[in-house]
Structure 1
Amino acid sequence: MTTIPRPTQGDVVELILDDHRFFERLLRDLRDATADRSEARATLAAVLIAHGEAEEEMVYPQLRRKDAIDQHEQEHGEEEHAEGNQALLDLLECKGTDTQKFDDAVEKLAEALNHHIGEEEQTILNPARTEVGEQVRHDLGGRWLARRSELLDDDCGSITSVKKIVARAEREGLVSDEGS
């Protein structure tokens, strides 16, 4: 499996941006017929779930407390994570990696992920840069990374885990179950 970067400290904004660039690289691999698409899919599933779940647990609430983001921005970020997780589940459920269904699922995930990355970088990470002090961002980075690593160690990107996360999002009204 592609090695998932596992830093242990840093500014949470920069660390999240690093993951975003990693997601983009994995999406390119998923589009590349000569790449190991199964490996790229498994790697993306693991890091995407760990990243998003740790953000929702550690980062968004802290940014709300610091008034860097409001409730709407937090909820919108969580809704976009849920949409991405649904698209990820659709990709994980594809049997092969050389089918039109797989290619379509990659594009659906890429669309959801690229939209979320753009919005998050503008409406959540920019305010975090300007409204939250450097030490707080560094401390938050360490806590976020620790939670992200725990989730990675727990095989959070497995199809079973992703199904549970999507089902929870459906129960919470973050996504409809009609799209699956």
Structure 2
Amino acid sequence: MTNIDLGRPLQGDVVDLILDDHRRFEALLRDLRDSSQDRDAVRQAFAALHVAHAEAEEKHVYPKLKRRNAVDDEEADHGVEEHAEGNEALLKVLELKGTDTQAFEDAVEKLAELVNHHLTEEELTILNPAREEVGPQVRADLGALFVEERNAQIDADCGRIENVRRIVAEARREGLLDDDEEDGED
């Protein structure tokens, strides 16, 4: 578990709640790049938030927005793929022993690149349609489901390395991740 405050919202408009988490991701990424921070604590906090947020979106938000025709299958599936890529990059950051190495900084840079790309794309292609196509009551109900899942995941220590490894392995089995060069597989 982390001692860094990840917020514990209990309700709200799902779009606002997701955006609040997006701003938290950006702040945590800044802290991961800052060598004066306790980078190990920051990466644990980032891991918990990343996994909890992605799981809550995939379980509740994306399916509901698809059913409401606010987003199409392609946009939602792409979001899931980007979560998988983020988790894979996160795992590389978590597996590094030291946090004051070039390898750590390179891994953080890759993670930041993937996560920032996803935040931008999700805000444009999923959250904007959600605002326009889904009414305030549905967004509030979805917000309650989102935070319930998000907070339960954080309480279950979802960011621990064993769990991230399991999630990445599952994504690979489901074909959500391209085998990268260093695996030597095709």
If the TM-score is normalised by the length of the shorter chain, which range does it land in?
over 0.9
Aligned to 1:172: 174
Q: How does 1:48-67 map to 2 (within 5 A)?
A: 48-67=50-69
Aligned to 2:140: 138
Q: How does 1:8-47 map to 2 (within 5 A)?
A: 8-47=10-49
In the alignment, the residues of structure 1 paired with residue 180 and residue 31 of structure 2 have an alpha-carbon distance, to the nearest angstrom, of 29
Q: Kindly state the Cα deviation for residue 160 of structure 1 after the two structures are TM-superposed.
A: 0.2
In the alignment, the residues of structure 2 paired with residue 116 and residue 34 of structure 1 have an alpha-carbon distance, to the nearest angstrom, of 27
Aligned to 2:6: 4
Aligned to 1:102: 104
Q: How does 1:117-156 map to 2 (within 5 A)?
A: 117-156=119-158
Gaps of 5+ in 2: none
**One-letter amino acid of the structure 1 residue matched with residue 56 of structure 2:** A
Q: Give RMSD over aligned pairs.
A: 0.9
TM-score, length-scaled by structure 1: 0.98
**One-letter amino acid of the structure 2 residue matched with residue 32 of structure 1:** D
**One-letter amino acid of the structure 2 residue matched with residue 164 of structure 1:** R
Show CA shifts across 1:7-61 (max 9, x none). Answer: 1000000000000000000000000011111111000000110000110000000
In the alignment, the residues of structure 2 paired with residue 98 and residue 158 of structure 1 have an alpha-carbon distance, to the nearest angstrom, of 20
**One-letter amino acid of the structure 2 residue matched with residue 27 of structure 1:** L
Aligned to 2:92: 90
Off by >3 Å, runs of 4+ in structure 1: none
In the alignment, the residues of structure 1 paired with residue 152 and residue 75 of structure 2 have an alpha-carbon distance, to the nearest angstrom, of 26
Q: Kindly state the Cα deviation for residue 178 of structure 1 after the two structures are TM-superposed.
A: 2.8
Identity %: 61
Q: Kindly state the Cα deviation for residue 176 of structure 1 after the two structures are TM-superposed.
A: 2.5
Aligned to 2:76: 74
In the alignment, the residues of structure 2 paired with residue 162 and residue 22 of structure 1 have an alpha-carbon distance, to the nearest angstrom, of 19
Gaps of 5+ in 1: none
TM-score, length-scaled by structure 2: 0.95
Task: Give secondary structure in 1 for the equivalent of 2:140.
Answer: helix
Aligned residues: 180
**Which deviates more, 168-177 or 99-108?**
168-177
In the alignment, the residues of structure 2 paired with residue 27 and residue 147 of structure 1 have an alpha-carbon distance, to the nearest angstrom, of 23
